[in-house]
C-alpha cells in the first residue's frame, strides 16, 4: 500500500509541476494517467461509478469531482483542486492537493494554508488508542478557528483494497468518540474548507448528473488529502 501511495504522490507531483496558465485540465489528467500506467499501475478513479478520468479537477468554487475537459483551460489566479487515485498490485493510494495558478496569494493562500494545517492536525491526532472523533475534531478546530466554512456533505474515508472503505472520516467530530484508532487502520483525511462560514455547498451536473458540487456565491473552496 505504501507503493500505491508513493505512485499517487508521483502523479500529483508531475501534475503540480505542469500547472500554468493555458493548460487544460484534460492535459493535466493525461499527465497523471501516464505516470501511473508507466509504473504498472491503474488510475483508480477511471470507470469508478462511471467517472471518466484519472483525476478530479475542481476549479475555484467547485468543491469535488470536477471532470477534466479540453474546454477547462487554466487562467492566472484560478484555484484548482487535484484529487488522484492510483492502484498498484491491488492496493490503492488516494491523495489530493490545491494550487493557485501563478502562485498562491491573498485570500486563497490563507485558505490553502489553513486547510493544509488542518490536514497535519488530523494526521497528528492519528494515535493508537485514540478515536476517530479525535482526528475529525482536530480538523474542525483549525477550520472554525480561522472562521472558515467546513464541508460536511463530503468527507474522508478508509482506503485499502477498495477506494472507499469504512470508516467515513467527516471534517467535524467529538473527541473520544467513534471508531477506535488501531495499528494498521488506513484512512484518507480530506479537510475541505470554504472562504466563508456562511457559504453552503450546492450540487451541479457536470457530464454525470449530480457528480460535481460547488459552493454558493462563487466562494473558493480548498481540499487537501493524504
Please write the tens of the pLDDT for every residue from 4-14: 999 999 999 99
Which CATH architecture best describes the domain 2-223?
Alpha-Beta Complex (3.90)
Rounded CA-CA distance 52/209 in Å is: 13
Strand order of the sheet with strand 156-158?
A: 165-169, 156-158, 187-188
Q: Quick one: which of 192, 198, 195, 201 has its CA closest to 219?
A: 195
Q: Quick one: which of 2, 83, 91, 82 has its CA closest to 41?
A: 91
Domain boundaries, the chain: 2-223
Rounded CA-CA distance 139/225 in Å is: 12
Please write the tens of the pLDDT for every residue from 128-184: 999 999 999 999 999 999 999 999 989 999 999 999 999 999 999 999 999 999 999
Q: Quick one: which of 105, 100, 195, 113 has its CA closest to 151?
A: 195
Please write the tens of the pLDDT for every residue from 209-226: 334 344 444 455 656 666
Amino acid at each position: 500500500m505504501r507503493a500505491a501511495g508513493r505512485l499517487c504522490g508521483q502523479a500529483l507531483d508531475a501534475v503540480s509541476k505542469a500547472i500554468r496558465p493555458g493548460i487544460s485540465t484534460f492535459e493535466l489528467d493525461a499527465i497523471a494517467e501516464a505516470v501511473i500506467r508507466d509504473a504498472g499501475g491503474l488510475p483508480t478513479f477511471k470507470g469508478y461509478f462511471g467517472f471518466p478520468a484519472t483525476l478530479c479537477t475542481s476549479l475555484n468554487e467547485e468543491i469535488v469531482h470536477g471532470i477534466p475537459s479540453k474546454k477547462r483551460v487554466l487562467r492566472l489566479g484560478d484555484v484548482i483542486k487535484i484529487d488522484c487515485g492510483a492502484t498498484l498490485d491491488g492496493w490503492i493510494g488516494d491523495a489530493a492537493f490545491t494550487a493557485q495558478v501563478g502562485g498562491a496569494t491573498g485570500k486563497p493562500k490563507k485558505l490553502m494554508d489553513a486547510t493544509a494545517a488542518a490536514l497535519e492536525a488530523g494526521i497528528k491526532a492519528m494515535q493508537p488508542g485514540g478515536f476517530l472523533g479525535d482526528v475529525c475534531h482536530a480538523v474542525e478546530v483549525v477550520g472554525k478557528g480561522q472562521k472558515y466554512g467546513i464541508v460536511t456533505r463530503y468527507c474522508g474515508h478508509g482506503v485499502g483494497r477498495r477506494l472507499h472503505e469504512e470508516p467515513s472520516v467527516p471534517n467535524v467530530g467529538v473527541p473520544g468518540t467513534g471508531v477506535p484508532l488501531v495499528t494498521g487502520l488506513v484512512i484518507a483525511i480530506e479537510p475541505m474548507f470554504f472562504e466563508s462560514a456562511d457559504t453552503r455547498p450546492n450540487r451541479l451536473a457536470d457530464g454525470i448528473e449530480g457528480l460535481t458540487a460547488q459552493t454558493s456565491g462563487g466562494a473558493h473552496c480548498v481540499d487537501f488529502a493524504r
